[in-house]
Amino acid sequence: MSAGHHHERPASEAELRARALEALLVERGLVSTDAIDAVVSYYEQDVGPQNGARAVARAWLDEAYRGRLLERPGDALAELGFGGMEGHNMTVVANTPAVHNVIVCTLCSCYPWPVLGLPPSWYKSEAYRARVVAEPRAVLREFGLELAADVDVRVWDSSAEVRYLVLPMRPPGTGELAEEQLAARVTRDCMIGTAVP
Amino acid sequence: MSAGHHHERPASEAELRARALEALLVERGLVSTDAIDAVVSYYEQDVGPQNGARAVARAWLDEAYRGRLLERPGDALAELGFGGMEGHNMTVVANTPAVHNVIVCTLCSCYPWPVLGLPPSWYKSEAYRARVVAEPRAVLREFGLELAADVDVRVWDSSAEVRYLVLPMRPPGTGELAEEQLAARVTRDCMIGTAVP
Amino acid sequence: MDGAHDMGGMHGFGPVAVPGGELPYHERWEPRIFALHLLTGFEGLGAGPGGRQTREEMDPAGYLAASYYERWTWSAEQRLLRKGTIAPGEVEAMMARLAAGEAAPEHEDPAMSRRVVERLQRRAPMDPPPADARFAAGDRVRVRRMRPQGHTRCPRYVRGATGTVERVHGADRLPDLTTYGEPARPEPVYSVAFASPDLWGPSDEPPFTVLLDLWDSYLEPT
Amino acid sequence: MDGAHDMGGMHGFGPVAVPGGELPYHERWEPRIFALHLLTGFEGLGAGPGGRQTREEMDPAGYLAASYYERWTWSAEQRLLRKGTIAPGEVEAMMARLAAGEAAPEHEDPAMSRRVVERLQRRAPMDPPPADARFAAGDRVRVRRMRPQGHTRCPRYVRGATGTVERVHGADRLPDLTTYGEPARPEPVYSVAFASPDLWGPSDEPPFTVLLDLWDSYLEPT
């Protein structure tokens, strides 16, 4: 589906400018409509938090996989078919009863696309970028997450080419669940660190 | 003269809002039109760089006054009738062949009103506030002022209640000039430090 | 408050010397809102943090988008609203009246005129420096690292940096507290000189000196 | 470049959790300009600093006023203009055509579609850490004070602060140089942990840890 059809309200200046850029390049055959569609579809259909959730569930079930995921995350994720742009240098950080991890990119919006897809708007917001490195508990509280005072909150600011994924703790009472059911418990925010399963 | 008369173009939102605030308080008798006029007129007619220039010229002619101006600037300026709001704690900094002084307020727009009046727009600009403490020579160059590499540029950021006035060096070839003629050589920018007489 | 107003060292603002920059203002409403702001203070019509502190509370995008006197208009309005001198909606209602062509009201009060000019001229120096100031001229000091939620006079660009005390200006109460009506005792305010490499690292320019006036609470020994 | 994008620690941006915040975007043009931006890179249609670095060059008021994808639109356009792929005025002319109701052109190229997805999937890890890295896990390091005119990955809020190396991630070229096509040798990139009081001073919250990935050039021994 190309842009420019079925607008129910007049296009904003911003939208019109974005569509004009696409139209200019498409008109000259420099980019193709289907290539744009393919990128959009790739991050809407094929790649998203379901990928990260699968790796987390696997790690919960398989100690050896957990070890590989923490030691050689790129390879461990590739085992499941995950990798690519904005995931070339993955680091997986594990929550424990004593440590809670949160990821951010204060300078930009860096995010592990191959395992989480495109970031939510709040991750890219000025407020998150400004505050989570300076008052993480206040930010987590906005997400309904209250951590014990003695937990070491570790905030990872993705300032270089390394991308982070939080490995949450397996919730109690899930001993009977299979990998797919476990994965369904792992939301995107659990792997950013603003929620726990 | 009150606001609101003789507009040759439609008022901007900003202007309309400012005028509405005045109108609201005037309508209720909480402030008076003539009191507003008095403040505007005070800084347009009575107080301005001519005050600072007079003190500078006096200091050039009278070594004892120069000493007082540097040692007890509040009293020395009061001798000439200058003082008041935003000038309660004056410090006068003297240029020498080895030292050039510049004043700024990076956080706000603090400025020595009793001796310089209200600051020029550039003094309040984001660009000046951001740059002069970090690249003063580049800023001075924009004003056409190029200093020798061995001059110590001293940039005074008015972060507390102290207000600064630069005492420039007396230019050569002015030995015959009287105080009034000397004062005419001393521009506002000379006393901020972005120019020399 | 580490907001957009704390500009020392920031990039992207373009040149300083621009056409029109020499003038203190360009439209007649600008000196009038300046004057009105002073008057609301003198006459006790506003409440809460002062104009400067109030302007720092503008959201950063709004602060940067606003012109200098638009910020003053904003802080005057906020202070009047806080005090209850004006009620929400009254400004917009008056804007509509003026936009519809209604003449601005006038009111004369020569006593107020005399009072305000007298106030502009009144002298009120800082307390002299205390005899027991913690630091003396020549002492090396480090600026504390901090992230104050409220008003401060310690800009970001000097935090953590080491400088040299040049003099003790006098004694003053900490604005970080007084802004909010919190008790504060007079404390020394120092002129502290920083060598530019200690603030900015290496630079294209020859080294220079930046001097700030810093309250004792902002400093620690090296 | 110390611009508005360097936000760590700043105040005044309000709450994080706001309605609609859960979605990656809200309008269809947003993922499309994202995709177009990637494609212009892959297909070599842009020039100069990359999208991220270009967005940092927006003037600060414009940066903060713009939405996330408005910034991407801006950087895509700048990069296309720099390369000469589009000429000044062409965007506005096309905007006028679209606003007048003209249908957007379409063009199919399945090979390009395959190429772009392949590119999204391609793996390209950093070089392994060098054997002779200057610092090792456990070392205390200080971040240099600096004010880079151009792109940097060393945010303001850690400059001058002291932390502890947690690990050596690998080797990478300094973006401060590569952004502008300047030569740079691979150098170690470290994960450095900072105790929150060493960044922010005292706080209402219990102490926590902030970790950044920092190139060797940003660091000095304590």
pLDDT in tens, C121-157: 998 888 888 889 999 999 999 999 999 999 999 999 9
Give me the DSSP letters along A115-177. HH-SPPHHHHSHHHHHHTTT-HHHHHHHTT----TTSEEEEEE--SSEEEEEEPPPPTT-TT-
Token pair 């506003």: residue: C46
Cα distances from C124 to residues B29, B52, C158, D53, in angstroms, run: 29, 19, 28, 50
- With CA atoms as reference, the chain A residue closest to D2 would be A107
- The whole-number average pLDDT for the span B9-22 is 92
Residue A126 reports pLDDT greater than 70: yes
Structure tokens at A167: 């490995």
State what percent of residues in chain D have pLDDT above 70. Answer: 100
What's the rounded Cα separation, in Å, for the pair C156 and D147?
13
Q: How far is B38 from chain C (nearest CA, A)?
A: 6
- The whole-number average pLDDT for the span C167-175 is 96
Residue B2 reports pLDDT greater than 80: no
Residues of chain D found within 8 Å of residue C57, distances taken between Cβ atoms: 12
Catalytic residues of B: 105, 108-110
Indicate the pLDDT class of residue A8, thresholds 50, 70 and 90: low
Q: How far is B176 from chain C (nearest CA, A)?
A: 30
Structural domains of chain B, ranges and CATH numbers in brackets? 13-45 (no CATH), 48-192 (3.90.330.10)
- Tell me: the pLDDT tens digits for D145-165? 999 999 999 999 999 999 999
- The whole-number average pLDDT for the span C16-40 is 97
User: Roughly what angle, to the nearest 10 degrees, separates helices D29-42 and D110-121?
Assistant: 90
- Tell me: the pLDDT tens digits for D64-85? 999 999 999 999 999 999 999 9
pTM greater than 0.90 (yes/no): yes
Indicate the pLDDT class of residue B7, thresholds 50, 70 and 90: very low
Catalytic residues of A: 105, 108-110
Helix (H) or strand (E) holding B192: helix B188-192
- B79 φ, ψ (degrees, to nearest 5): -55, -35
Q: Given CA atoms D102, D108, D114, D118 in this order, what sign does their dihedral have?
A: negative
Half-sphere exposure (Cβ direction) of D35: Cα atoms closer than 13 Å: 30
Residues of chain D found within 8 Å of residue C201, distances taken between Cβ atoms: 144-147
Res D126: pLDDT: 83
Distance in Å from the first CA to the final CA of chain B: 36
What's the rounded Cα separation, in Å, for the pair D38 and C22?
45
- The whole-number average pLDDT for the span D157-181 is 97
What's the rounded Cα separation, in Å, for the pair A52 and A31?
31
Cα distances from D49 to residues A33, C13, C171, C205, in angstroms, run: 25, 19, 50, 25
ipTM value for the complex: 0.95
Contact D121 A83 (CB under 8 A): yes
Contact C145 D60 (CB under 8 A): no
Res B10: pLDDT: 75
Indicate the pLDDT class of residue B8, thresholds 50, 70 and 90: low
A27 touches chain D (CB under 8 A): yes
CB–CB of B1/C101 below 8 Å? Answer: no
- Tell me: the pLDDT tens digits for B47-98? 999 999 999 999 999 999 999 999 999 999 999 999 999 999 999 999 999 9
What's the rounded Cα separation, in Å, for the pair D99 and A170?
53
Task: Write down which chains contact chain D via at least 3 CB pairs under 8 A.
Answer: A, C
Res B29: pLDDT: 97
Residues of chain C found within 8 Å of residue B18, distances taken between Cβ atoms: 29-30, 32-33, 36, 69, 73
Diameter over CA atoms, chain D: 64
Residue D124 reports pLDDT greater than 70: yes
Contact B39 C35 (CB under 8 A): yes
Distance in Å from the first CA to the final CA of chain A: 36
Nearest to B29 among C76, C107, C204 (CB): C107
Going by their DSSP bridges, the two strands C187-195 and D209-215 should be labelled as: unpaired
Residues of chain C found within 8 Å of residue D11, distances taken between Cβ atoms: 1-3, 149
